[in-house]
Amino acid sequence: MKSNRLGINTICTHVGEVPDEQFKGAISPLYMSSSYAYENVAVKRYPRYFNTPNQEALCKKIAALEKSEAGLIFGSGMAAVSHTMLAFLQQGDHVVIQKTIYGGAYAFITEEFPKYGIEFDFTDGFSEADFLEKIKSNTKVLYVETPSNPLLLITDLSMISRIAKERDILTMIDNTFASPINQTPADFGIDIMIHSATKYMSGHSDICAGAVAASQKHIDVIWNLAKNIGGSLSDYTVWLLERSLKTMALRVKAQNKNAKKLAKWLDAHTLVDKVYYPGLKSHPDHEIAKRQMSGFTGMLSFELISSVDPELFMQSLALIKQSMSLAGIESTILSPVKTSHALLAPDERKRQGIADGLLRFSVGIEEKKDLIADLEQAFEKATKKQLQHI
């Protein structure tokens, strides 16, 4: 099936199906075999070679979703990040990394790269000048994440790919927050797309996985490292992820819609100081976001006014649960200062613009009116409890 001519829901539902030749079942059969008959030198199936029937099929769907030639799937998003970076970097190379990235990727780079003699610099901002300032003669990779966590800041993908191509530098994006439904960076010339499939790709908070999409040439390089490191994904999880991806476009579009409405509602609320959502006209990067995104995701952040205690507010929510992860069909909330960014020094948090009253809200598919009612009663409870304290 030529996937480049299919619509998004058809890609989600059908591309990369494993045909059930024996029983003609409607879905891909699950092949749990870790041992396969030897076919020939080219086809030696083995789970750690990432080429069992279910692995191979899912990689096709990932590739089609990211408008790329090939894909690879891993046991976690961090496995996807670490394999992709290490596959293209060696001792003496330099990588330029966007100022704010996922905490796990930050830890991986700052804790592991020095051991391998890989040099790195984080940019001071998101502009062309910020990236150019850090590029050196040995820079091999530009690494970005847009929208960023937790402030939903936007990096201009056309700009990144232009300055990289002019210098023969490889570009990598962590596309987790956008998902391929809202952003396909290959359209803007980005070389390698990385996902924590634990998030929107899974969508039900029940799978830990990672994915990469790129040209066949680049995937071959990553595969070569991956088979040596040996972090392939269990076929059962592969099969579950295929099922999840079938509804990804439906889920993500519903989440986009809810998040946009809630962002507007929060923006107008007297107890909310700021809302960070790329779909709002007031977002500083709204114009860039409009150019490179077809939807603005289900992720948003907001800052309570200083007189509302964020802890009291979160504890008062009933429907919206506190949770470390994100992107599930259920709405969740967290305080970056207390969780995802707790390990950053307070100075560094301030530098990144992460205030104590900031809350990151992963909007699910529940009815908008029920989410608003939950937020409203939490605002009331939190302010009432605070008054009792005075």
Ligand X SMILES: *Cc1c(COP(=O)(O)O)cnc(C)c1O
Shortest separation between residue 141's beta carbon and ligand X, angstroms? 16
Instruction: Say whether 102 is catalytic.
Output: yes
DSSP states along 241-276: HHHHHHTHHHHHHHHHHHHHHHHHHHHT-TTEEEEE
The CB-nearest residue to ligand X is 77
User: Across the chain, where does the E strand assignment appear?
Assistant: 70-74, 94-97, 119-122, 139-145, 170-174, 192-196, 210-214, 272-276, 299-304, 321-322, 332-334, 358-362
Q: Does 76 bind ligand X (CB under 6 A)?
A: yes
Among residues 76 and 258, whose Cβ is nearest to ligand X? 76
Long-range contacts from 2-10, C-beta under 8 angstroms, 24+ separation = 3/60, 3/63, 3/64, 4/64, 4/67, 6/64, 8/181, 8/249, 9/249, 9/250
Q: Which of 198, 244, 292, 301 binds ligand X (CB under 6 A)?
A: 198
Copy the structure tokens of residue 161: 């790919």
Question: Segment near ligand X (CB under 6 A), from 25-33, 71-79, 126-134, 306-314?
Answer: 71-79
Q: Does 297 bind ligand X (CB under 6 A)?
A: no
Q: Which of 31, 61, 156, 174 is catalytic?
A: 174
Instruction: Say whether 167 is catalytic.
Output: no
Q: Which of 47, 150, 185, 210 binds ligand X (CB under 6 A)?
A: 210
Shortest separation between residue 202's beta carbon and ligand X, angstroms? 9
Pairing of strands 94-97, 119-122: parallel
Among residues 210 and 336, whose Cβ is nearest to ligand X? 210
Copy the structure tokens of residue 3: 């996937």
Cβ-based neighbours of 315, under 8 Å, separated by 6 or more: none
Question: Segment near ligand X (CB under 6 A), from 2-10, 28-36, 193-201, 367-375?
Answer: 193-201
Q: Which of 102, 200, 276, 277 is catalytic?
A: 102
Shortest separation between residue 109's beta carbon and ligand X, angstroms? 12
Q: Which of 16, 47, 71, 77 binds ligand X (CB under 6 A)?
A: 77
Q: Does 60 bind ligand X (CB under 6 A)?
A: no
Phi-psi category of residue 205: left, alpha or beta, with phi > 0 → left and psi -120 to 50 → alpha:
left
Q: Which residues bind ligand X (CB under 6 A)?
A: 76-78, 81, 102, 104-105, 145, 149, 174, 176-177, 196, 198-199, 208, 210
Catalytic residue annotation: 48, 102, 174, 199
